[in-house]
Each structure stands twice: as C-alpha cells, then as structure tokens.
Amino acid sequence: MKFREFEHDVLPRVLIPLLGGLFVLCAIHSGARAAAPAPKSFIVSAADGYGVTECIKTGDECAKIVADAWCEAHGNGAAKAFGRADDVTGAIEKATVRETPAKAISEDDVFILCGE
C-alpha cells in the first residue's frame, strides 16, 4: 500500500470518526459541568420544632448526620457547612440564606449549607 492510497482510503475512515467521537465527548463533558446545581443555604429556626438546632448548635457528633439528613430531605446533596446562624460572618449572601422575608436571627437558630 502506498502512502497516497493510505492517505485517501484509510486515513479518512479512521481519522474522521475519531475526531467526531472526541468532539461529542468534549460536548458531553462540558455540558455536565454546566448542569451542576448551586449550593443552597437554609436558616433553621429553633422555634420550628424540628429538633435540628440542638445537635448543630452544640457541635455534637450528631451535627454532621443531622445536617446531611436536612439537606437530603430538601433534595440537595450532603451538607457542606453548618453551625450557629449568629456566627455566620457574611460569607453567605443574605439573599441566598433566607427564602422567607427577612426576620431577626436569634442565637438559637442554625444555618445549613447544602450542595453537591
């Protein structure tokens, strides 16, 4: 087989499908990154009666388990961060922290940041 035959017969049969497959793979990979949901934050009031605040506020061993369960119950991944709500240092925007109208945060309230 001469190079000219290889160049015109074999190379297009191999190279074009290979390049097409790489293009499709790149398109799928970039689309998967764009579809990742943003983290979601919650302020859980001690008056809600869920009992979530006792573990998270004190930082007991159950805090991670309770925060993960809260996030999963609300359709999110595992908890990324959690703690006392009055201890939030402004790292979480107020617009994303509250889903209800603004109200005063008491010292017994806790925050939970959920994400993938």
Rounded to two decimals, what is the model's pTM? 0.56
35-79 tens-digit pLDDT = 556 788 888 888 877 778 888 887 778 889 999 998 998 888 889
Kindly indicate the confidence band of residue 93, based on its pLDDT and cuts at 50, 70 and 90: low
- The sign one gets for the Cα dihedral 10, 15, 18, 23 is negative
38 Cβ partners below 8 Å, 6+ apart? 115
pLDDT at residue number 1:
65
- pLDDT value of position 45: 83
Among 8-22, 37-51, 69-83, 92-106, name the most confident range. Answer: 69-83
On the question of pLDDT at 5 being above 80, the answer is no
